[in-house]
Each structure stands twice: as C-alpha cells, then as structure tokens.
Structure 1
Amino acid sequence: MSGDSVTLNCSSVSNPPAEINWFKGETSVGSGRIFSISKISSDDSGEYKCRAKNEHGVKYSDPVTLDVQYPPRNVSVSIHGSAVIMAGDSVTLNCISDSNPPAEISWFKGETSVGSGRIFNTSTISSDDSGEYKCRARNKHGEEYSLPVTLDVQYPPRNVSMSISGSAVIMSGDSVTLNCSSDSNPPAEISWFKEETSVGSGRIFNISKISSDDSGEYKCRARNEHGEEYSDPVTLDVQYPHRNVSVSVSGSAVIKEGDSVTLSCNSDLNPPAEINWFKGEIFVGTGRNFNISNISSGDSGEYKCRVRNEHGEKFSDPVTLDVQYPPRNVSVSVTDSGQLWFDSVSLMCISDANPPALNFSWFKENQSSAVGSGQSFSAVQSGRFYCEAHNPHGAQRSDAVTVTVHQGAGRNITVIIVTSAGLIIIIILFAMLCKWKSRRSALKESAINKKRLQ
C-alpha cells in the first residue's frame, strides 16, 4: 500500500564477494545488499532487480514487481462537445481517476445514480438533463467523488402562455394585469402586442383604469438568442354601460307620404344592448333599425330608442318625423252667409296640407282662367265657384259652391221693402211685449192678494 515501508534484499554466492547494485527497469537506483523504500508511493511501482558483479563476472537476479496500491485520487470529469449545449445535442462525460487497483466508476445527477463506467453518454440531450453531474471512483482501498460539473442545456422559448389577473368580467375603470410565462434557456426577453402593435415589455403588463379603447386581442412574445415564440392571443372584452345613444334617419331630408324611412339606433355599450323603439311614450318596435314603409301623415311625431344591457339603460334624444303631403280635403267656406241681402260674397279656401298651402287660385265653373287668388275671395257675381290649394308637393281643387249675389237698383228697393217690413215686425213685437208685461203684472197682484187672505 502507498505509504508502506518496503525492503528488498539481494543474495548471491560468489568468490570473491560480489558488488551489489539495484535497478528499476534499466535505471540504477541504489547499491548494497539491502535496498529500502520508506513510505512507498505509486511512483515506486515497477520491476526491480539486483546485479552481482566481481572480477570473474556479472549476474542479474530475476526481476521483482512492486505493485503499490492506493485508493482513487485526482478524480475529475471532462465534457466532450460544444461549450454551449443545445437541446438535441449528444454529450459525453469522461471520468478521470488515479487508483490502484483501477476504480469502479459510478455517475450521479445530484444525488441520484444515473449510470456507471468511465464514460457517460447522453444522446439527444433535453432540458430535463440539465443539472450537476459527478462521478465516483471506488476500489477496495476507498472512494473519491469528482467535483460536480453543470450541464446547462439551452433551448429556444416554448410553452409560452399568458394569464389575466382580476375579475372574469372587465369593467371600464378596472385595473387589469397580464402575466406572460415561458420556458426557455437562457431566460427570454418578453414583449407585449395588441394585435400587431407593440405595447410594452417585461413579464407583467398592467393596464390601470382600463377603457373601451383597450379592448382587443393581446399576446406576448418570448425571445432569446436561440429563437422566439408567441403566446395564443387573449381577448380583453372591456364592458361598460350605455353612452352616446342617438337616432339617425336614412333617406331624404324631406319625408313625403309613401316614402320608406329607416330609423337607426346608434349606441356605444358593451355587452350589446336590447333596443326598443317608442313614438312618444308608446312602444312601437325592437331592434337596431326601425323601418316604416309607405309612411303616412299618421306616422308623424317624435321617435326615440332605448338601449338596455346588464349595466343599465338610456334613451336617445327624440327625433321628429315630419311627414309632408300635398293639399287634401280642400273645401270652400262662405264667410258672410248670415247676411240676407248682399252685393258680394266672401269665400274662404280651407285645406289640409304639410307644409301648409300658401298659394290659392279661384275659379268660376266653365271658365278656364282663374278669377282670383289668395285664401280669401270676394265673389261679386252669382255662379258656382271653387278653389285650388297648392304646396310644394302638389295641388287639389275643392268642390264648387253656388253663390247668389243681389246687386244694382233693385237692391235699393229691396232695402226699402225690407225696412218697411222690419218696421211692421217691430210694432207687432212691441205690442206683444206690452201685452205680456200687463198679464204678468196681473198675475203678480193676484198672487199677493191670495197670500194676504191666507
């Protein structure tokens, strides 16, 4: 054993006595019948022989082998391959040790035994193979471990994903935090994207007081020197109550009877709303669009829509549908028909129109040209007259009315007759009034006398 003390003794028979010399291999190492090695070491291992020499000759002894044994020492691990180990590479570990007898070699990852033999090979290495490796050399005299070596298996980003912290329902004004996780070696640089636009970096992306403008698809990208990978996108659906509710009207600026009109309810809210329509306070329909085909004057009025979702409801400002139409129901009214005798008759043209009729024409039957204009007309001749009412959408004529006009000298005689007849009527009425008063006074006096008798 290494450290022992060993003595070699050379014996020979010669006359005269021989001179003794010692050799290790072919190298002279000493002289004298005795050759002593104190604290022998592995370096002293080898074949030893002695030589006896006198004047008559020389003779060597048979060699003797000194096999100096010792426990393992100088145990170390060497790695064969690239300095940067990539996933998929083949890696060979070699255990180097000095021992006698030769050592049995075992391999460990951490404290777990993973193989034996002087060489440990990992073909198609993976990230799971990363870690500290060491070998142990053992013989019957002892054991020794190598210092550990680290296999750092590098690979591009993988398993990139993102998560959202906070409520499942994101309301406008909330604070939302997005977290990107990835598996890579070396660690990845993280970038954030909304759709295709870069919006930030770092493993955590925070949005304080989120708004509807922040709604959309978000994803993170993990990148290192070996590659990059994106997470699946996550949609931020920012919900909020009703706002900006309004009604728009499609079609011509001027709505005429018979047109088709569509009212659209425009609103900004999330989630989408239930939409109801009202004319005044009366419910008339549902849906984002409210259509009125073949519109009539009866459809005129104020319309509004109401939007409602789980966060509240709101009405739009009302819009007025003013349905216009040409004149209708045109008629002539005699304004001074209470006179018994006249030399002209005042006529009025009445119509229903939107916008109101402002142009009027007067005609006498069987005459092609107009005899007057304006809403009022004074007829100075007897006959049948009618009017026409006009607005921007059309015209309509009235039925004809018969007008009788008394005029000329006969009128003066008539007036006199009417005056005499009127005087006779007044005298008769005065006589009747006097008689009625007299009778009433008599009845009153009779009633007073009767009361006195009682």
Structure 2
Amino acid sequence: MCVRMAPPLALVILLMIHRVYGHYSCGVSYSRSHICALKDSSVIMSCTYTYPTGYQIRRVFWTKSHLLNNVELPDVSNYPEYNLRFYYYGYKWWYYYTMRLSHVTLKDSSMYYCRFITNVHAGNWIGYPGVTLTVTDLQVESPERVTEGDSVRLTCKSSCTLTDRATFIWYRNSQPLTTGIIGNQLNLWRVNREDTGRYSCGVYGQSYISPAVQLNVRYSPENPVISISPSGEIVSGNSVTLICSSDSNPPAEISWFKGGKFVGSGRIYSISKISSDDSGEYKCRSINEHGEKYSAVTLNIMYPPKYAFLSISPSGEIVSGDSVTLICSSDSNPPAKLYWFKGGTFVGSGRIYSISKISSDDSGEYKCRSRNKHGVIYSDAVTLNVMYPPRNVSVLINGSGEIVSGDSVTLICSSDSNPPALNFSWFKENESSAVGSGQSFSALQSGRFYCQAHNQHGSQRSDAVTVTVHDDDGRIVIVIAASSGGLFIIIIIIILLLLFIIQGKMVNKRPAIHEYENDNPGANRYRTLESRSSDQYNTLTTVHPIPADHQSGSS
C-alpha cells in the first residue's frame, strides 16, 4: 500500500484529497514483511516502489515512523544508535532500495518503512505497513533436576522463528559438541557426572552464543579418601589433621568415626597432641540424598615405651630344680627391644628369659629394660627367692673342754637351706633311732654322732664326728673334732708336731721307755697318739701322765 504524505489534515480531508489526486499510480512492496533476526547478526530489508508518471524521485530512505501528520519523517541512518551499522545500496531510479543493518540488538526490534519523496510538493509516499523486525537472543532450556542415569533434553530457544534457516551448534564448557544434536535440541542419553557442565548454543555462521546454563548431574558420593597431614611417621605429642575428600552432587555431609564410634563432623578432623590412645582405624562417611560411602585408614602413632612389666611363671614358690620363665611386657610403637639384668649385670635379651633347673645361685633381683628409638624405660625389680632343701650340713663342737665320765660335750648342727631348717635330728652311727632333736645336742657317751637337718623341701645328714669320754680315774681326756677343711688339718699337724717335741724331751730325760700293752694305774703313763679317721672328720686323743702323788703311791 502506498500512502501519500500530506499537510496535517483530518482523515476526512485526506480522503477528499485522495479523490482529487485519484489519477496518480504508486505502490511500495517489500521482499519480506516479517524478519526474525538473531542478535548480533546482519539484517537486509528491501523495497520496490512505483510513482506517477511525470514525477521525479528526489530521495528514497527507510524510517521507523509512519505518522501521517509528520511531514519530515526521520531517516534511520540519522539515528545515533545506527551509526556505523547502517548501509544503503541501490539507486532511486532503479525503483529498488535496500537497507543493511549489522550487529542488530534487541532495541532494534521495530517496524521499518520505505519512503520516497518526489519533486511534487504533495508527492511524498511511504509503504505501509512496513517490515517488522524482531531481534531475538538464544536461551538454553534444561531440566531443573538431573540425576545420574537420567536421559536429558536441552532446547535452544528464541523468541521468534529465525527467518533464515538455522543450523544449531552446542557447546559444553565452551567446547563444541558433535553428537546428540537434533534441530535446536541436544539429547543426552543416560547422563553421568562427566556430563555436568555449562551448556550454551549458537547458530552456524553466526558469532552470537547463548548464555551458558549449568547442568548439574546429581550423584551419590564416590568412595571417600582420607589424607593425613603431616604425612609420614606420626609421633605422640604432635598435631595431626585428617582430611576427607569425596566427589558428590549435591556436596555430601562428612562424619568421622573411630572404630564404630562417632568422633566428629566436617571435612577436616584435627587432633592436637596426639597420643597412643588415638591410634586405631578411622573412617569418614560421605552421605547425600543419593547414597553414602565410607573410607578406611589406620592411624599408627609412634611412641616410646609407656611401661615395662615383669611377670614370673609359674607363680608362687620357686624350688631349686624347677624351670622358671620371666616375661617382660611393654607397650610401645615401634615394638621395643627388651633386655634382662640381674642386679646391674646384663644376662639376656628378648621378651622371655628362661632358667632351667634353677638353683639358689639364681636368686636375686631381676628387671627388664624396654627400649625403642623414641625412649627407654625399666621395669620394677622382682626378687627371685629360690627355695632349696638343706645342704652343707655339718656338726660343730662347742668348745674343746676336758671330757671325763659324767660330763657332756655340746654338738651343734649347722646347715644352708631356704627356708632355714627348723627341724634337726641326731643319730649315733649304726643306730636307726634318733638319739636327740634340736639344733644342739649334748653327747654323754663315746661314739660317732651325726645330725640330719629338715625343711619342707627335703633333708640332708652331716658327716659323723667322734666323741670319746674317759672314766675319771686320774686321766684327763681332751677331745678335738674338726672337719676335713684345710684349717683343721693345719691344727692337727701343729698338735702332732707339739706332741713329737714333748715326746722328744721326755725321751731325753728318761734312760728307757717301756711301752705297755694295757694301761696300768701303778705304772708311768706315756703319751699315746691315737689317730682315728672318718670321711670328713678326724679325732685327736691325747693321754696325759698321772700326777706325781699317784706315781709315788704305786711305787
């Protein structure tokens, strides 16, 4: 339709004018009446026109206004917002005029009209209706909630149908996708967590790309992983941090467990001044609405020996000949080396120290030492008290007095035993019945006597000693008993030497010596050395001469 532009008049007057000038012939047509253009693209609008014979075209242009009472409609090229984006081509005498608008924006959406002006004052026309330009952007439409395993369809939407045939392009994280594109849709089959990303779309040949839309594929937690800081060996007293890492969507809640006991929450679990009590298996649990997963990790705390404890097996009373085991228990990490000491003397190593056929020599204080690279500690000392039956039983003679008929000699029984012997029995050789009891015994008659010492672990008898008792008939008997020890042998030798010296002097005083087979009270008495022997004891008996008054009586 060609509308003639006239001075401002009412519509009725315009119709009257139309009749007056009814002989004219004009027309404006457009190649497209509607254009849907993508933002930032270029748009071309073309019109063709005719005008009455005899008129001359002075000017052709495009305008956005179609007000009939506006004589001077503005040329679009004069709008500041079209500066450097607007271009005309074609000539007014070609009856064809084209406008090109580049880098269109949403504000460029409007109706555009082709207008021409002739040399006749009333010969200005505009093509009405004009060309409707709609500028659209692209928006990605996606589901609000997507779970791993779902099939998803994304749509690239515009506010109008693009005039030019469009080939859509899809991007994930700015990287082009090549599969799953059907028209303006992107189809993702059985999505997984790798499909999470920012999706955008565009049109092939155009620079415009839609705003990106985040596609969040929701999924259950992956197996959590615990990292320990600082890494490496953990020594008691240090501070330690456990960090739980787990991939999930939405982000998982983290809980901490030691063994089966809840100890904390959050991605980080810290222990200040860690101790051996903190050793053990730690787990972090990662949980969201789609599932839960657990980690596994062992915290191995290094620490010096905390104690060393010594125990004895078997417990209770230890008797010589038994087998005894000492066991050292110690708590440390790494495990300590164990050493054994008796008093201050090193006697062995290892957790167990065994003594087979224990004896009294093994009695004493024992302790173990526990040591690793972080420290050392000693156990309390334990005393081994080895019980044994009497041994080294011997008889001692109390004094060396003169023994005559009617007197007695005291014999004392000594022994080494644990516990000390409390029961003593006295026997006379070749007699089965005991002749006395107690640690001491008074011998009233001549003979060989021995003692037997008893405790709950056994008994032992001594060697016999000889006791000689003489009648009180003017003779004095001295009884000396000694053990077979070196000291007593020396004493016997000294006594023998003395006797030989005395005998030598007596020989020098007397012209002749008469030896009698039997003692005669009326005769002179000669010294007689009687030597008796036993296994471990010797008895020396010396007979002294009768006093002078007795000798004179006999003569």
| TM-score normalised over the length of structure 2 | 0.60
Tell me which residue corresponds to 1:204: 268
Which residue, 425, 443, 449 being the options, matches 1:361?
A: 425
Q: Is 1:214 equivalent to 2:278 in the alignment?
A: yes
1:101 aligns with 2:164: yes
Q: Secondary structure at the match of 1:158?
A: coil
Alignment correspondent of 1:13: none
- Alignment check: 8 A CA contact 2:403 2:477 kept: no
Alignment of 1:285-434 (within 5 A): 285-339=348-402, 341=404, 343-407=407-471, 410=473, 421=547
Q: Which moved more, 1:125-134 or 1:298-307?
A: 125-134
Match of 2:339 in 1: 276
- Cα deviation, 1:292-318, whole Å, max 9, x if unaligned, reads 111112211221111111122222222
In the superposition, the TM-score normalised over structure 1's length comes to 0.72
Deviation at 1:180, TM superposition (A): 0.5
1:120 maps onto 2:193 in alignment: no
2:213 aligned residue: 149
1-structure distance, mates of 2:164, 2:326: 101
Query: Is 1:389–1:396's contact at 8 Å kept on the other side of the alignment?
Result: yes
Query: How far apart, CA to CA, are the structure 1 residues paired with 2:443 and 2:384?
Result: 40
Equivalenced residues, count = 369
Alpha-carbon distance between aligned partners in 2 of 1:43 and 1:288, rounded to the nearest angstrom: 96
**CA positional deviation for 1:128:** 2.4
Q: Percent of pairs identical after alignment?
A: 54
Local SS of the residue matching 1:270: coil
Distance in 2 of aligned mates of 1:328 and 1:190 = 75
Q: Deviation digits for residues 189-222 of structure 1, max 9, x if unmatched?
A: 0011112222111100011111111111112111
Give the superposition deviation at 1:349.
0.8
CA distance in 1 between counterparts of 2:369 and 2:363 reads 19
How far does residue 70 in structure 1 lie from its aligned partner after superposition? 5.4
CA-CA distance at 1:33 after TM superposition? 9.0
Can you give the 5+ residue segments of structure 2 that lack an aligned partner in the other structure? 4-23, 37-128, 479-524, 526-543, 551-555
Distance 2:230 2:138 in 1: 55
Alignment CA distance shift 1:196-1:414 (3 Å): closer
Cα distance in 1 for partners of 2:220, 2:548 equals 124
Where 1:128 maps in the other structure, the secondary structure is helix
2:200 maps to 1:134: yes
Taking the aligned partners of 1:341 and 1:214, their CA distance within structure 2 comes to: 87
Contact 1:71 1:100 (C-alpha < 8 Å) held by counterparts? no
Partner of 2:251: 187
Contact residue 249 and residue 263 of structure 1 kept, 8 A:
yes
User: Using the alignment, how far apart are the partners of 2:167 and 2:398 within structure 1?
Assistant: 136
- Preserved CA contact (<8 Å) 1:267 1:307: yes
8 Å Cα contact 1:72/1:103 also seen in 2: no
1:90 paired residue number? 151
Three-state SS of the structure 2 residue aligned to 1:162 is strand
If you compute each CA radius of gyration, which structure gives the higher value, 1 or 2?
2
User: 1:34, CA displacement in angstroms?
Assistant: 7.7
- Cα offset, 1:246, TM superposition: 2.4
Question: Separation in 1 of the partners of 2:163 and 2:238?
Answer: 74
Q: Please state which structure has a larger fraction of its residues in strand.
A: 1
Do the aligned residues in 2 keep the contact of 1:70 with 1:99 (CA within 8 Å)? no
Q: Deviations over 1:248-300 (max 9, x none)?
A: 11114110011111101122222111111112222221110111111112211
Distance 1:422 1:118 in 2: 161
Q: How far, CA to CA, are the matches of 2:265 and 2:216 in structure 1?
A: 26
What is the root-mean-square deviation in Å for CA atoms of aligned residues?
3.5
Give 1:393 shift. Answer: 0.8
Give the 3-state SS of the residue equivalent to 1:135 in structure 2. Answer: strand
| Aligned mate of 1:42, from 28, 34, 48 | 34
Quote the Cα distance in structure 1 between the aligned partners of 2:274 and 2:476.
98
